[in-house]
Structure 1
Amino acid sequence: MNSYHVLHKEREMAHNAISDPIEPYCLSYVLEKLLVMSTPVSKFVKINEDVNLHFNQTNPAGVDFTKVPTLIFLHFWGGSADTWSSVVRALSPSFPTIALSFRGWGASSGPAEAEAYSISHFASDVEAVIQSLGLTNVILVGHSMGGKVATAIAGRHRLPSTILKALVLVAPAPPGPLSLPSHMKEQQIRAYDNTTNAEAVIRTVLTAPGSPALTDAVVRDLAGDMVRGNEFAKYAWPHYGSAEDIRPLFHLIEVPVLVVAGKSDVIESPEKMITEVQEDLNSRRSGLAKLVIIEDSGHLLPIEKPDGVASAVEEFVRAL
């Protein structure tokens, strides 16, 4: 399902059920599902004068927040809170959710300083949101760059020890520094200069060939998010964020970890996820990290295979 047009689809379902005289039971069923599903509410948390963080929040009715963890979704370099729309839609009937836009991305503002978009800055922002909202039971779900941020949060232990229950790392950027050949680094730097570049990267690098989820509308919306990021946020990851070495923090992770990999991911391959993430964690504490590989998906798992990601997350969380 198109990640950026979910509410339109739900309204269409409800309309069809209401107008169909042959199956009147559909109306009560659809209305029940729409009531259970928590419609995302757009909110902001002001971190400081330069940083106002946007997030979409859902709270299912009847959920005991002390017993059911809030899932906090952290996006990739070039994404936003909307990256997670379809995953949130699948999980929101069962779990409270927060999908956050990092500083400088989506509707979040950020400082006009090139060095203010490090992994540490992002991690501090997420911790501030958790504390501002008074959350006491959370699981971080980080994709790509967001996975590296989630790793840093878990490893540096600045949140009270009882708050963070687990990590889900979706095609995460590994904790060690990424070193690219100069020509590839230049391509990365220019990737989000304009929509033409961004759409080309989406279709040829970030996703599996022929992915049915990649309608023209989805690609346009993804490229729009990428291009709208502020110049400093776009600059930071290829110039220094991806090169940050947070392995000392990675080795201090104590909570259970689920690693989700796309079978056709050419950026963070399943083999890389096994050796650099799962096996490294398990070498320090047996059974700490589990791995799920999702077929027919490239790097943009939340867009390409949202139901697969949601199923993996739910199964992992319910087994904790």
Structure 2
Amino acid sequence: MAHKLLLLTQDNDKFRQLLSAHNLEELIILGDDPSSISSANIWFAEPNLAAPLLNLGNNLQWMQSTFAGVDRITGSRQRRDYTLTNIKGIFGPLMSEYLFGYLLAHQREHAKYKQQQQHKQWIPGSFRTLQNQSLLLLGTGSIAQHIAQTAKHFGMRVTGLSRSGAAKPHFDHVDTIENLADYVTTSHAIASILPSTLETKNILNEAMLSLLPEECVLFNLGRGDVLDLDALAKQLQNKPLQNAVLDVFNQEPLPSEHPIWQCANAIITPHIAAPSFPEQVVEVFVENYHLWTAQQPLKHQVDFFKGY
């Protein structure tokens, strides 16, 4: 039996080329015309593009998300009568490069020395090492585990917080996310890699942010809605030794009038910490397609109720 695949991405031509090169047996890659939506039983899609079309997918059986985050299609009002898989296992190295690139630049005072260079100044500073510093990771999934493993190479102490609090590789300690307030006060660096769920929304609110140590570095790399950005902007203005590195936001692009742009102790990047490389995404789909045709459980299945 032939399977019909609908592509819903911002680069359908690229993905069509990559998928065709695999010569997947009994897979017909449909065109981009509207009639394909109702006839396809497999969707290869970006969640934001798939969300408004879900109810038109009369034959949808399986959707492979091209992103890790799927909150746009797991809401309580969205249909859940199909198998949803997302992308995991490829973002850990990219997130680690991003986080430690900025963290090391901060600790080693890169910006200060670049400024001194422009004025031909020779003024040694007093950098701090990452050794024995504490890193708090909100989330303990595959991305967080890779970050934790990298942190151990630098001699950091790593704590993870998750919904279950179950032990995971590379962490010195794991607890439940409900105990967040017990850990933020003693963490040198904090990074959220949390998905967007009812439990995680606004978890880094004004009250929680007020507990951050004076010289803490806060990263938000998962979802924008876990963080009260207005409260953070006010706090950074009042606490110049605190720093934030932000890659995800409630509204993207981030509105130009938001005060966080003006915070000298904030770094803002346009959701580029861990892009999905097409070749890697296709490899995940191909592996799952072989499982699908063999009627075996698919990898990286999403729990609609948990949202990840």
TM (norm. structure 2) is 0.29
Higher helix share: 1
**The structure with more radius of gyration:** 2
Structure ranking higher on relative contact order (CA contacts 8 Å, 6+ apart): 1
